[in-house]
Amino acid sequence: MTSFLVLVAGVLEMAATESTIRFSGHTLDKATKAKNGGSLLQKIQEFLSISVFTVAPAKSNAGFETFRNANLISVTLENYYSNLIAQHIERKQRLAKLEESLKDEGLSEQQKQEKRQQHAQKETEFLRLKRSRLGVEDFEPLKVIGRGAFGEVRLVQKKDTGHVYAMKILRKADMLEKEQVAHVRAERDVLVEADHQWVVKMYYSFQDPINLYLIMEFLPGGDMMTLLMKKDTLSEECTQFYISETALAIDSIHKLGFIHRDIKPDNLLLDARGHIKLSDFGLCTGLKKSHRTDFYRDLSQAKPSDFMTSCGSGSGGAMDSKRRAESWKRNRRALAYSTVGTPDYIAPEVFLQTGYGPACDCWSLGVIMYEMLIGYPPFCSENPQETYRKVMNWRETLVFPPEVPISEEAKDTIIRFCCEADRRLGAQRGIEELKLAPFFRGVDWEHIRERPAAIPVEVRSIDDTSNFDEFPDVKLEIPSAPMPQDGEVIYKDWVFINYTFKRFEGLTQRGTPTKK
C-alpha cells in the first residue's frame, strides 16, 4: 500500500502547477499553502493517506470502502491525466494546423497576426465554455431514430446554435446491472480519441443521475444493415467499395491501439454521400484499466436463450440459400434491438478467450463480405449453439452455395479473411496487405472517400430520417433527472467519473437555430 501511495503522489506532483484540483467532492487549491502551510502536493498526499488509503480494521465493513476508494482514485487519476494530456496535445495540434495554413495562404504578416489572435480568442472561448454545464435541456428532441438494448438514439437540435445531432442515451442502472460500465467507458474514450474521417464524430458527452449522453454527428444515410435488407445482395463492384472503406475505418482505430471486436453491418453507418463511418465502440478494447472486463463466455455452455435465433425456425433441416437469406432477413431486425445479439460475426479466438488481437476484426470483415455477396452470413444457423459450432469448425463449414455464383477472387479473399488469426488477410501488415489482394485491384485507396459512393444515398435535408426505422411506441421526450448539487455524489456514480467531454469544433461553431 505504501509503494502505491508513493506512486500516486508522484503522479499528482504533475498537478502542482495547477491553481485548483477537484477530487471526489474536495477542492484543493494554492490558497491551502498560504492558510495552512506546506505545499499543495503535501496536502494532496495527506488527503490521500487519510481519506483513501487508511487500512480498514479486520472484520469491518470499512474494508469495502477502502477497496472502493482505491479503485476510485486509480480510475480517476488515469482518466483525469489522460484527458489533460490529450487536451494539451490537441491544443498544440490546432495551433500547428493554423500555422501550416498560414504558410499556404500567402498572407501578409499583419493578416497572419490577426488570424492568430482570432484563434487565441477561440481557444479562450473554448476553455470558458468547457466549464459550463451541458444538459438535456440544451437540446430539442426531433425524432427517435434508434433503439438498443440499453437505451435509445434521438435526433436532436441544439437550441443555441441550431445544429442537428444524434443523441445516444444510455441508462446507468442497466449499465451497472449488466456489467457494461467498462464498455461504456471504452466507447466514450475511443470517440474522444478517434477524431477521424472514418469514425463517427462525438461532440459532447455528459451525464445526469439517471442517464449517460453521447452527442454525435447525425449521419442521415442510415446503416449497412438497412441497406443490405433493401438490396438482398450487392454486386462485387459495390462489395469492393464498401469492404475497402470498412477496412480503412478499421485500420484507423487499430493505429490508435484499439480493437473494435463488434464489427457488423449495424455498426457501419452511412453519411449523406453514402460513405462508411464506424460506430458503436461499446466492445472496443484498449490499454486502459477502465476498459477491461470479462464479456464473452464459452458458447458451448450457453443456454438457447443467451443468443437470438439467426437463421431458420428450428425445423432442423438444411435450407437452400434463398430460404436461408429470407429467414436471416426476417430475424435480423430483432437481433439488432436485442440485449443478447448474435455470434455470427465473432472470430473463433474471441470465443476461446485465450487471447486475440486486431486480426479478430479482419475475420468480421470477411463475414460481412460473404453476407454482401451471398445474402446471409456464412455461419448462419437455426440456433446460436449451431452458429457457435460452425464458427469453431470453420474449415468444414465455410462453404459457398453453388446457386449464388461469385468470382474466385472474391472467394479467395473471404477465405483469407476467415482463417487462422496469424494467417488472416491484414493480420501482419494491416491495410497494406489488402492493397495487394487481387479482389481489391483498381481501388484508389487514397481518394476513395472523394469518389461517389457505390450506391447513392437519397437525403433531402440535414435532418432527413427516411433511412431510419420508425419507433412510434417510444416517447419523444428525453428521460432525464435534475443534476446533483456540487459535491453531491450519487452512490456508485464514481464509476462514471470524468465522463463529460466537449469537442473544440462543437463549442466554437455557430449557426442559426431553426424552429421545427
Distance in angstroms (rounded) separating the CA atoms of residues 237 and 246 = 14
Query: What is the grid cell recorded at 437?
Result: 489482394
Distance in angstroms (rounded) separating the CA atoms of residues 158 and 450 = 29
- List Cα–Cα distances, 215 to 26, 186, 192, 200, in angstroms: 29, 16, 11, 11
Of 8, 490, 443, nearest to 237 (Cα)? 443
The catalytic position among 262, 266, 271, 344 is: 262
Show binding-site residues for ATP: 168
Question: Residue 262 catalytic?
Answer: yes
Distance in angstroms (rounded) separating the CA atoms of residues 4 and 7 = 5
Tally of CB atoms within 10 A around 92? 10
Residues 27/21, Cβ–Cβ less than 8 Å: yes
Distance in angstroms (rounded) separating the CA atoms of residues 276 and 268 = 6
**Dihedral sign, CA of 308, 331, 222, 173?**
negative
Residues 438/410, Cβ–Cβ less than 8 Å: no
Residues 474/152, Cβ–Cβ less than 8 Å: yes
Residues 282/187, Cβ–Cβ less than 8 Å: yes
Strand pairing class (164-171; 211-217): antiparallel
Of 332, 216, 233, nearest to 277 (Cα)? 216
Q: At what angle do helices 40-47 and 2-12 cross, to 10 degrees?
A: 140
Distance in angstroms (rounded) separating the CA atoms of residues 477 and 455 = 34
Q: Cell 454521400 sits at which residue?
A: 273
Show binding-site residues: 168
Angle at 484 between CA 479 and CA 485, to 5 degrees: 150
Tally of CB atoms within 10 A around 348? 18
- Phi then psi dihedrals of residue 378, to 5 deg: -65, -25
Of 478, 496, 482, 516, nearest to 166 (Cα)? 478
Largest separation between any pair of C-alpha atoms in the chain = 83
Tally of CB atoms within 10 A around 68? 13
Cross-strand pairs, 153: 146, 168
Query: What is the grid cell recorded at 341?
Result: 445479439
- Phi then psi dihedrals of residue 153, to 5 deg: -120, 130
Of 232, 285, 171, nearest to 404 (Cα)? 232
- Phi then psi dihedrals of residue 230, to 5 deg: -75, -40
Distance in angstroms (rounded) separating the CA atoms of residues 173 and 164 = 28
* Residues forming the active site: 262
